[in-house]
Amino acid sequence: MTEAISTIGERARELRRDFDRSFASPPVGGSAGMTDLLAIRLGTSNLAVRLAEIAGLFVDKPTTPVPGSSAALVGITGFRGTIVPVYDLQQLIGQSKSLSARWLFLAAAAPIAFAFEFFAGQLRVPSDAIKPQQADAKQGFAHDFVRTDGVLRPILELKSVIATIKN
């Protein structure tokens, strides 16, 4: 009987050692070399935003209109005890005002939210699938693009969008 107990004890120590060692090893088949994107549509334009630049995604979040000097300012809303301005992303990038911007995301770099019309999904693409725009073809706030499922999506750079608000 004691022989069986010592064998079980030895096996438990071996399993514990393997378990602890697994945390020291790099992940197998992880997401190294992958980029996560939020796929959105503004009007008829298919775009993407890097998930690393976003602190949260929300739908039908109440927004209170406020007077302001910017036509793109939709209003204000609260996030975790902080009041932030909400801007119409479509209008900020030079398109017409959104008709029904029921989605919004909170920028990670600044306390600013951006409203948009349509959430098309989350994309995980190999980092080398993201290509830079040619210098003569750069579209305002999008300097890179990605093609997924036959759809070409410019990738918005939120820091440049935020910079236009602060100026």
Instruction: Give the domains, in start order, of the chain with CATH numbers.
Output: 34-166 (2.40.50.180)
pLDDT at 7: 78
Both tokens of 148, joined, read 């997924």
Res 137: pLDDT: 46
What's the pLDDT score for residue 107? 93
How many angstroms separate the CA atoms of 54 and 105, rounded?
7
Quick check: 52 pLDDT over 50? yes
* Partners of 147 in the β-ladder: 152
Rounded to the nearest integer, the mean pLDDT of the chain is 82
The average pLDDT across 14-28 equals 67
Residue 138: per-residue pLDDT: 46
CB 143 within 8 A of CB 157: yes
Q: Is 82's pLDDT higher than 50?
A: yes
Q: What is the mean pLDDT of residues 27-55?
A: 83
